[in-house]
Structure 1
């Protein structure tokens, strides 16, 4: 009887060991894959959350897909809003890993909450009008027409500050029918016909060419918008976040930004 018991125990031990071997090998393989992915891309796998200015909505979706493709195992989730809203979220401790704003002032205002910022792109303003430009808006001074329904971004929003800056420089007094929380809201008002014209970024107007017309503003009367990117000090994926921010300045990312109409930093 003792021999039978020992035999069964030995057989059980052998079976258990046999089952554990592939599990151990699988764990080892996963570890090797993670290490290989990091070695190949220079970044560990992670689920990143990036807070980004509303004007980056379309281009960052394309950029995020490209980044995930070249960085297996990493997922990038974006949260888009006006830069001032994003800054408020950072100050409130929102769980995120990186931030990209549409101006340096907002980023600089966060001080120690962010890492060292890097400007990744630039932009310019245009006058967005209802498709076909029925009100015949030709330049900035036309926006002062009291018969024209003009919508602008609020002054605390980067595009709102840029807009006011160029209007003040030309001594043009505009009475907007509304002041919106971000550039996409301005564009939407024009798209829906709720406004005759609005000041938006050139790249935003380019996303709605079937609904709005874009009236160019001469360089001498325009403003340059700069987009700084930085990691957040509260990130739980600091290494992966730094890798993403660095990637935004690579030729691959810069081509995606230029194809969308953004200028080189």
Structure 2
């Protein structure tokens, strides 16, 4: 599978940059505390103090924040050891999960530094001007009800995205559009994907409505939920609706 390419980045000496305000509400530190009492993965949040300038210069192979990175790696290991392996790694904004084994999937503690570097580089390249990597989260790895694996051996599971606003669900969709699947590990993946894309469980809808009620006075958000092998639904991610991928499944 082709990995994302890293272009040469030239940073002016007088570089000054601040992240847009939209990243405040898309960060896990904003929406996760509002989900207290609802089913979510156990989550340990790490605040690094990494500045936009440090992040961009680091992507340009500048060791400007080496001390912060070393401390981050140590903190990630401490939290992952506590939660148990495998664990799930992400920033406050993204997990770069399509790179799976090289980014968010912490099988053990042997490649944490490498995976941190990959997520930071991805964060610098995505979303036009990049995403902040100042906040990180080490999360419980949920054993999902998945149908097959794709991308970099990532489980393709029963997941759905709901769009909420004003206490209502305004749109619902399977998480995985068929045309986004790359390198599936089975020939009948389309049939299996169709099976897990049917929203036939009232518990998933009920959970989405609970989240909608908690965010009824906020802006529109997307809410991602997934089903574990024991039949329970968990909330795994949220973001502002206007920055969330939306598609219309075929009827």
With structure 1 as the length reference, what TM-score do the two structures score? Answer: 0.26
More relative contact order in 1 or in 2 (CA 8 Å, sep 6+)?
A: 1
Q: Which structure: greater helix fraction?
A: 1
